[in-house]
């Protein structure tokens, strides 16, 4: 039986590398479509010789995209940006680039297309990122009506840009921020009055494990009956931002103190932080956090794909401990 061929755009990214490894394990031949194939050479050992091939295909280049999807049995588009930089705007990547991939896949007669969106996708959102994700979904479905859309919450795993970011912050800062819209309110009881600093604990997240996301995609690729739907992917538990930071503290062992930050102050800080080469925070990200990042219901999710979601508490200790304090030399012997 001939091996199936899949083209994965964004294959060298956080989710992409996990997906490529698992596709190769299942016998797929993988075209890893990336902007820099030399930098993506690390993907090759994930399969047998010649099974995983990085090739240059920027989604803004229609000819390169068409060549990348030619003859493929399936296409997966994972390309996305968290902040705008130069020509890589939200519109260019999430809308126009996604439409280019979808149109090329349709023209090439590719049977299956998976498009990565986000739980926050909303054409009426204050966030440009969220609006572009919604517009991208519409553009993909217009070009490839049978496409499968995945909307994950925050995706976590060893190479994530969520828990790792806060872990790095805990190493260099004695405080960790908790954005809140209803904190700093006086609370009075029969015993007296106090100030509720955190309120409800800030925005709510439903982190989903990268391995579960990759498994979900593979299940769709392996079973045509699951394709052509919009899936909301979330983990087994919802966490307030305060609870997320408490997880960071507990898994790193760092004695960081949690500090409530009103959204207004967060917007002010982001004005300057977004000017960094790799922004720590942008004003658009602050706007995005004003809406809970959780499954809204009414759409199928991991359960419908036969997957039991993995809890963050199970995985975080395996990689967040890198941000803990170094043990003194001879500590094990002394113990």
pLDDT (tens digit, 9 = 90+) per residue, 239-263?
999 999 999 999 999 989 999 999 9
Q: Is the domain of 94 the same as that of 171?
A: no
Name the strand (E) or helix (H) holding 282: none
Q: Is the pTM of this model over 0.95?
A: no
What is the rounded radius of gyration, in angstroms, for the C-alpha atoms of the chain? 21
pLDDT at 192 over 80: no
Q: Is residue 323 part of a domain?
A: no
pLDDT at 188 over 70: yes
Name the residue range of residue 97's domain: 5-152
d(CA 20, CA 319): 21
Q: Is the domain of 197 the same as that of 116?
A: no
What are the residues facing 7 on neighbouring strands?
Answer: 31, 75
Task: Indicate the number of domains in the chain.
Answer: 2
d(CA 57, CA 13): 14
Tokens 């705008």 found at = 84
Q: Is the domain of 116 the same as that of 19?
A: yes
Q: Is residue 40 part of a domain?
A: yes
pLDDT tens digits, one per residue of 124-171: 999 999 999 999 999 999 999 999 999 999 999 999 999 999 999 999
What are the residues facing 8 on neighbouring strands?
Answer: 32, 76
Identify the weakest region by mean pLDDT among 47-51, 191-195, 212-216, 297-301.
Answer: 191-195
pLDDT at residue number 334: 42
Q: Is the domain of 138 the same as that of 168?
A: no
Q: Is the domain of 194 the same as that of 125?
A: no
Model confidence at 2, pLDDT cuts 50, 70, 90, reads low
Mean per-residue pLDDT, 71-89: 96
pLDDT at residue number 329: 45
Q: Is the domain of 45 the same as that of 100?
A: yes
Q: Is the domain of 62 the same as that of 11?
A: yes
Mean per-residue pLDDT, 63-91: 96
Q: Is the domain of 173 the same as that of 249?
A: yes
Q: What is the CATH number of the domain that holds 82?
A: 3.40.50.720
Question: Sign of the CA dihedral 91, 94, 95, 98?
Answer: positive
Q: Is residue 62 part of a domain?
A: yes
Q: Is the domain of 74 the same as that of 135?
A: yes
Q: Is the domain of 128 the same as that of 79?
A: yes
Q: Is residue 158 part of a domain?
A: no
Q: What is the mean pLDDT of the chain?
A: 94
């Amino acid at each position: 039986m001939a091996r199936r061929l899949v083209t994965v755009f964004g294959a060298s990214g956080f989710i992409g590398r996990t997906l490529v490894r698992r596709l190769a394990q299942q016998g797929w031949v993988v075209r890893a479509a990336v902007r820099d194939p030399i930098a993506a050479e690390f993907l090759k050992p994930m399969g047998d010789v010649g099974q995983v091939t990085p090739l240059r295909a920027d989604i803004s280049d229609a000819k390169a995209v068409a060549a990348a999807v030619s003859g493929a049995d399936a296409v997966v588009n994972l390309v996305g940006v968290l902040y705008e930089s130069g020509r890589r705007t939200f519109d260019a990547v999430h809308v126009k680039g996604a439409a280019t991939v979808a149109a090329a896949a349709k023209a090439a007669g590719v049977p299956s297309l998976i498009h990565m969106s986000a739980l926050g996708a909303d054409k009426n959102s204050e966030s440009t990122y969220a609006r572009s994700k919604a517009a991208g979904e519409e553009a993909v479905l217009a070009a490839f009506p049978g496409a499968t859309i995945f909307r994950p919450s925050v995706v976590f795993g060893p190479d994530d840009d969520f828990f790792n970011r806060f872990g790095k912050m805990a190493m260099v800062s004695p405080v960790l921020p908790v954005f809140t819209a209803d904190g700093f309110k006086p609370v009075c009881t029969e015993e007296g009055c106090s100030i509720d600093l955190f309120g409800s604990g800030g925005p709510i997240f439903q982190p989903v494990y990268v391995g579960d996301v990759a498994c979900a995609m593979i299940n769709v690729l392996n079973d045509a009956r699951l394709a052509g739907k919009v899936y909301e992917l979330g983990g087994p538990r919802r966490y307030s931002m305060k609870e997320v930071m408490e997880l960071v503290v507990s898994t790193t062992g760092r004695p960081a103190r949690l500090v409530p930050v009103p959204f207004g102050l967060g917007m002010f800080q982001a004005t300057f932080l977004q000017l960094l080469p790799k922004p720590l925070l942008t004003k658009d990200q602050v706007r995005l956090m004003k809406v809970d990042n959780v499954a809204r219901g009414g759409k199928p999710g991991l359960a419908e794909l036969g997957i039991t979601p993995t809890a963050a508490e199970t995985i975080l200790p395996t990689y967040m401990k890198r941000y803990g304090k170094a043990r003194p030399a001879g500590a094990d012997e002394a113990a």
